[in-house]
């Protein structure tokens, strides 16, 4: 088995019910943080980590994802005529030329595990990664989170899952791992459970949407029955994989925003505006003004 991970699967069929009505006809992963959709950040992270084959697992509302990564010939033509080279580069640059995009349909919304299984034929027999675009991870200037996991994969030749410590009262939002031994950021997993109640959680190490798998996960998925929320859970297949192979958790370095929730999405937007040279000064000034005006003080409407 090769150590190189060239294929990344992006499940993009998720409904994003927290964002209705905006997600009624458009997928959650097309929500923009500033001027880029979440899925483009995810693709940029994957490509910066060495990915060459991008597999998008789509659903009924995902057409915009395929259009986003396709050429937009009429628009490009107009930008050429208007001599708007910068905008032309932005429009053409959604995927670099050496990258292949494949689109696989998930016929029914049967869960994250099912979405990954739908990509089986396109993945082939090589190791692959899975990236959940609503977990937006801003790199700390060094290697992207996915690249850090790929490094850990090549040291151990075993599946690696991105994790982060979460407050005890939030375990029911995540897959939670129990780990045996730790060596810095890398830990050997001995159990994993999907969204446990805080009283049942084996730890506070939560699975964040970055995974690198050996192909054996696909066999585990084939055997995984419907679990929590009547869905085929990727977490349950990982638990099954633990019977036959080692699986590691890696505490990646990077700031993660949960763009599957309105608050996380808002926080990401502010954080990314504060990082952008063309927006930083005015965003900071606006926030300072809000603070100084007292409009951020407690109100009776706070919940």
| Near ligand G1P by CB under 6 A: residue from 115, 206, 232, 247 | 206
209 binds ligand G1P (CB under 6 A): yes
| Near ligand G1P by CB under 6 A: residue from 194, 203, 217, 240 | 194
Short-list 235, 242, 240, CA closest to 207: 235
Site for ligand G1P, residues 96 to 115, rule: CB under 6 A: 112
| Near ligand G1P by CB under 6 A: residue from 31, 119, 130, 132 | 132
Contact between residue 95 and residue 10 where contact means Cβ atoms under 8 Å apart:
no
Minimum CB separation of residue 29 from ligand G1P in Å reads 12
Residue 161 pairs with which residues in a beta bridge? 211, 249
Structure tokens at 37: 């959709």
The DSSP string of 242-294 is TTTS-EEEEE--SEEEETTSHHHHHHHHHHHHHH-TTTHHHHHHHHHHHHHTT
Q: How far apart are CA 121 and CA 119, in angstroms?
A: 6
Phi and psi at residue 139, to the nearest 5°: -65, 160
Residue nearest to ligand G1P (CB): 175
Phi and psi at residue 176, to the nearest 5°: -120, 135
Site for ligand G1P, residues 54 to 83, rule: CB under 6 A: none
Site for ligand G1P, residues 1 to 40, rule: CB under 6 A: none
| Near ligand G1P by CB under 6 A: residue from 208, 212, 247, 273 | 208
Minimum CB separation of residue 66 from ligand G1P in Å reads 21
Minimum CB separation of residue 48 from ligand G1P in Å reads 20
Vertex 225: Cα angle to 209 and 180 (nearest 5): 50
Phi and psi at residue 180, to the nearest 5°: -85, -60
| Near ligand G1P by CB under 6 A: residue from 144, 235, 239, 248 | 235
Nearer to ligand G1P by Cβ, of 132 and 149: the residue is: 132
| Near ligand G1P by CB under 6 A: residue from 131, 207, 218, 237 | 207
Site for ligand G1P, residues 112 to 131, rule: CB under 6 A: 112
Short-list 125, 102, 126, 96, CA closest to 53: 102
179 binds ligand G1P (CB under 6 A): no
175 binds ligand G1P (CB under 6 A): yes
Minimum CB separation of residue 293 from ligand G1P in Å reads 35
Contact between residue 130 and residue 211 where contact means Cβ atoms under 8 Å apart:
yes
254 binds ligand G1P (CB under 6 A): no
Short-list 207, 283, 236, CA closest to 114: 236
The DSSP string of 219-235 is HHHHTPPP-GGGS--HH
135 binds ligand G1P (CB under 6 A): yes
Nearer to ligand G1P by Cβ, of 37 and 209: the residue is: 209
Minimum CB separation of residue 229 from ligand G1P in Å reads 8
By CB under 6 A, how many residues form the interface with ligand G1P? Answer: 13
260 binds ligand G1P (CB under 6 A): yes
Q: How far apart are CA 236 and CA 254, in angstroms?
A: 26
Residues binding ligand G1P (CB under 6 A): 112, 132, 135, 174-175, 194, 206-209, 234-235, 260
């Amino acid at each position: 088995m090769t150590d190189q991970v060239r294929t990344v699967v992006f499940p993009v069929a998720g409904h994003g019910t927290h964002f209705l009505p905006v997600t009624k006809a458009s997928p959650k992963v097309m929500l923009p943080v500033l001027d880029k959709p979440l899925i483009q950040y995810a693709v940029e992270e994957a490509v910066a980590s060495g990915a060459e084959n991008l597999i998008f697992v789509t659903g009924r509302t995902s057409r915009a994802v395929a259009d986003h990564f396709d050429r937009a010939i009429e628009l490009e033509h107009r930008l050429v005529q208007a001599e708007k080279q910068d905008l032309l580069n932005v429009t053409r640059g959604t995927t670099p030329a050496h990258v292949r995009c494949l689109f696989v349909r998930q016929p029914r919304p049967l869960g994250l595990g099912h979405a990954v299984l739908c990509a089986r034929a396109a993945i082939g027999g090589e190791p692959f990664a899975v990236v959940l675009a609503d977990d937006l991870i801003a790199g700390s200037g060094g290697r992207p989170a996915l690249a850090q996991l790929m490094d850990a994969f090549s040291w151990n030749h075993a599946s690696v899952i991105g994790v982060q410590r979460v407050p005890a009262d939030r375990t029911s939002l995540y897959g939670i791992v129990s780990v045996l031994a730790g060596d810095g950021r890398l830990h050997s997993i001995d159990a994993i459970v999907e969204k446990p109640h805080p009283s049942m959680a084996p730890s506070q190490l939560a699975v964040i949407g970055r995974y690198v798998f050996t192909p054996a996960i696909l066999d585990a998925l084939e055997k995984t029955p419907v679990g929590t929320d009547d869905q085929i859970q990727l977490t349950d297949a990982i638990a099954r994989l633990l019977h036959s192979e080692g699986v590691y958790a890696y505490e990646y370095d990077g700031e993660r925003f949960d763009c599957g929730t309105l608050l996380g999405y808002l926080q990401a937007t502010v954080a990314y505006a504060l990082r952008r040279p063309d927006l930083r000064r005015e965003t900071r000034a606006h926030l300072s003004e809000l603070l100084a005006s007292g409009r951020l003080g407690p109100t009776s409407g706070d919940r």
